[in-house]
Structure formats: structure tokens, C-alpha cells
Amino acid sequence: MLKKIGKNKKMVLAALVAGVMSFGIMGSDVTMAATPAKTLATASQMQRSSISELDNDTRVFKIDNSIEAKNVKFENRFGFEVAGHLYLPKNFNASKQYKAVVITGPFGAVKEQSSGLYAQEFAKHGYVAVAFDPSTTGESSGSRRNMGSPEIFTEDYHAAVDFVSNLKFVNPDQVGAMGICGLSGMAITAAGSDSRIKAVATSAMYDMSESISDHYNGAYYTPEQRGIVKQHLAKMRNEEAKSGKAIRGAHELGVDAKGNVETFDTMFPDKLPADASPVIKDFFGYYVGRAFHPRAINSNKLAWDSVTPYGFFDFKLMSNIDELGKTPVMLITGDKAHSKYFSDNVYAAIKGEKEEIVVPGATHVDLYDQMDKIPFDKLFAFFDKNLK
């Protein structure tokens, strides 16, 4: 292959001028980027950030090779380095300015899964998009790994807006935010205080503060069970303090009939029991099946840090929902989604411009990656209208 390239320099140069050149290396396809990462990096006005080539591509959805993707890193105000993928529109021109959207989620997923798929679709529609790993998860920094935090994860959205709005090829007045599943609450919370976010959308929304501290629909924990959970969390904190080591555990803790806390050190087993609920089977089919990724907490090799629930007991994500003011909000859910009540409740609470899309026949997990269920046309129309 190298000899052939050496003999045909004119053909190689012609291919590079055309923009994209693909050739086989060890049986795989490698696509040379039309826009060098160094060129993009010079267009960034954010000091604590970087853009590099996506050399080790581990995305688990169907990749559109007409869309360029780059590795990016940017620092949030707590000093965490957030890792993301930057998606560029077709026929990208660095001298132009584009609309942009920042995306993350679900809770415990990575940018190589659902958020990356959404970002790729936005890029196909003509947007600059960034899918990112929340702090302490995936490829983002944090010496304590997989520690969930409503405040830090919300800050990650602000930092992502710092990054995209300081790219010279992005119009800083045309930036939106999107949250999938458990990062939806953080997206809405961030939009409430960040005037740079001109519109916000959610898909398969979960309010993790309610889900973790109240369990399902606020009807799971009795006062006695809540006390048992708090005692368990205190025990975990003491054990971690004494050992200096993280202890894996469930982010949503059950309490059985005997008053024992139900937890685990991996999110899913290798195989589900036959009597697993349809909801669990749906999650399992995505995270352990078609979208398995070794860095995803929700795949069956990892779990959250056992004291993750503390932040969600301490702070309620939806407490500042009135701060949204006139910021437009779109909520996407499915009529068969077990999480639908989250979207319903938030929709009822929003006083400003809002829209709720209920997809017929869609479950919660369908909205992660099922292209025939996700209403991208309505999503794009929402952002096109509001990012003017």
C-alpha cells in the first residue's frame, strides 16, 4: 500500500484536495480528515481547551463518514477536564459561522453512545455539535471515578457552552443544549442560569434528584426506608474515608422486605434472570447488547461510586425551573416510556415557551438510538426556530 501511494503522488494530492481519502489498513477503513484538527484549534478562543484528531474511534453507533469528528477537551470551573467529540457539518467551512448544540447523557453513558449519535445527526443537519462525557466519567478527568454530582454535571454544560461559543466558526448567539435521560435535568438547570443557552431540549428525560432520593415517582421509600438508605450511605462514606479507596455501589438504592439495602458493584450481570422486568431488559439490550462500551458505567463492567446519592439527596435539580424564563424548552418522551412522568411533570411546571412530544409506541430506551422513533425532524425544527 505504501509503495503504491509513493508511485502515485499526484493521485494522492488530488484526493486530498477533494477533501477525503480512504484506504485500507489491516482490514479496516481509515478516513483522513478534510479539516485538520490544528486548523480547528487555531479557531478556538478558549485557553484551557484542545482539539485533536479522533485517532482511536470506539463509537458504537452507525458512523456517517461524511461527518467529521474530532477529540476535544475543555476545563470546567472546578478544574475538571471534560472530554468530548466535536462534530462538524457536511462541507464544513471554517470561515463561516454555524449554529451549535452541546449534548450529553444518558446518566452513566459515554459520548460514544447515544449523545454521539444525536450529535452526528445535528451535524448532518448543519450544526456544530459537541457530545461530551460528564466529569469523572468516560474520558473526562477526576481522580475519584464515576462520582455523580448534580452541580458538577450542570457545570459541565456551562463549560461545553464556553467551548463552542468560543469557536470562531460558531455564532455565540446561536447555541442550544440537549440532555438525554439522566442528564436532562442538568441541561434544564444549566439553561435556567446561562443566558448563552438560547433553547434546551430533552429526550427520555429523568430527573435524577427525584429518581435517586425518592426512587420511582416519589412513591418508593417510606420514611423508615429512607432512614435505612441514609444509614447505608453514611456507612459507605466511613468505609471510603478509612480505606482511602472508592467503593462501587448502586446510585439508586433499594430496600427489601427485611430492611436490607439492595446494591451492586456492576450495573448489570452478564445475563439477566428470566423474570427481569421489561424496563430492565430494555436497558440491558442497549448497554450490554447493541451499544456496549467498556467506559460506560451502565455497561456490565462498572458501577457508580457508592456515595454518589449524596449530591442528589442534597440538591434538587428542578428547584430553579422558573429561572428558565422565556428560554424555549422541548421535551421528548414515549407513550410507553416508564419515565414519561418526568417529562409530564416538568412540562406542567414550565411557565414559558414549551412543547412536549410524545412518540407513539416508543419506550424510554427507544429514544436512545432507534432512528424510526426519535423525532429528529421536530427536534431540528425546534432549534432552527429558536436559535436565530
- Confidence check: pLDDT of 5 > 70: no
Give SS3 for 303: coil
Same domain, 68 and 192: yes
Q: 92 in a domain, yes or no?
A: yes
Same domain, 54 and 203: yes
Same domain, 77 and 185: yes
Q: Which of 38, 34, 1 lies closest to 18 in space, CA to CA? A: 34
Query: How many Cβ atoms from other residues are within 10 Å of residue 25's Cβ?
Result: 8
Q: 86 in a domain, yes or no?
A: yes
Residue at which a domain ends, from 310, 333, 364 = 310
Same domain, 252 and 149: no
Same domain, 342 and 255: no
Residue at which a domain ends, from 255, 277, 310 = 310
Same domain, 46 and 150: yes
Q: 289 in a domain, yes or no?
A: yes
Same domain, 172 and 74: yes
Residue at which a domain ends, from 310, 335, 364 = 310
| Residue 301, pLDDT score | 87
Query: How many Cβ atoms from other residues are within 10 Å of residue 27's Cβ?
Result: 5
| Residue 214, pLDDT score | 81
Q: 185 in a domain, yes or no?
A: yes
Find the helix packing angle between 114-124 and 376-386, rounded to 10°.
60
Q: 172 in a domain, yes or no?
A: yes
pLDDT in tens, 237-271: 999 999 999 999 999 998 999 999 999 999 998 89
Structurally, how many domains does the chain consist of? 2
Same domain, 196 and 240: no
- Confidence check: pLDDT of 220 > 80: no
Give this prediction's pTM: 0.90
Range of the domain at 256: 223-310
Q: CATH no. for residue 279?
A: 1.10.10.800
pLDDT in tens, 264-291: 999 998 899 999 999 999 999 999 999 9
What is the DSSP annotation of 57-114?
----S---TTSEEEEEEEE-TTS-EEEEEEEE-TT--TTS-EEEEEEE-STT--TTSH
Same domain, 129 and 270: no
Same domain, 193 and 327: yes
Query: In the chain, pLDDT over 70 holds for what percent of residues?
Result: 90
Distance CA 303, CA 224 (A): 26
- Confidence check: pLDDT of 96 > 90: yes
pLDDT in tens, 16-62: 333 333 323 333 344 444 899 999 999 999 999 999 999 999 999 99
Q: How confident is the model at residue 346 (pLDDT cuts 50, 70, 90)?
A: very high
